[in-house]
C-alpha cells in the first residue's frame, strides 16, 4: 500500500500580497512588521533592507523608517515563507 501526501495549494503556490506597514522590530536576521490591521508578519531582515530605497536605508534603520511613515510593501509568499519584498 502506498501513501501520498497532498498539500493544500496555498502551501505550494506563490502569491503576492500588498501590506501596509506601520511599525517594525528588528530581531537579528528577522524583522517583525506591524501591519495596519494589527497583525504581525516576520520577514528576513536582509530582504527588507534590500527593498528599502537606498538613500533612506543609509540614514535610517528599519524601526525608525517605519515609525516615521506608513509604507506599502509587496511580499511574494510561498505558504508562510517570504520569498521577496518590494517597496511600493
Per-residue pLDDT band for 6 (boundaries 50, 70, 90) equals: low
Scanning 1-88, the segments in alpha helix (DSSP H) are 9-12, 45-51, 54-59, 62-68
Assigned CATH for 9-87: 2.40.50
Residue 4: what pLDDT?
A: 57
pTM: 0.76
Neighbours of 73 (CB within 10 A): 23
Q: Determine what percent of the chain is predicted with pLDDT higher than 90.
A: 42
Q: What is the CA radius of gyration of the chain?
A: 15
The grid cell for 33 is 512588521
Q: What is the pLDDT of residues 35-64, one digit of tens each?
A: 999 999 999 998 998 888 775 555 667 888
- Residue 10, pLDDT > 90, answer no
Closest Cα partner for 88 from 52, 50, 47?
Answer: 52
Domain ranges of the chain: 9-87
Amino acid at each position: 500500500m502506498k501513501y501520498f501526501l497532498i498539500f493544500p495549494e496555498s502551501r505550494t503556490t506563490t502569491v503576492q500580497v500588498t501590506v501596509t506597514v506601520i511599525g517594525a522590530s528588528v530581531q537579528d536576521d528577522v524583522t517583525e512588521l506591524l501591519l495596519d490591521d494589527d497583525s504581525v508578519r516576520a520577514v528576513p531582515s536582509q530582504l527588507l533592507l534590500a527593498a528599502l530605497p537606498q538613500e533612506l536605508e543609509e540614514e535610517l534603520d528599519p524601526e525608525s523608517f517605519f515609525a516615521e511613515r506608513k509604507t506599502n510593501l509587496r511580499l511574494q509568499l510561498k505558504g508562510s515563507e517570504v520569498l521577496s519584498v518590494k517597496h511600493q
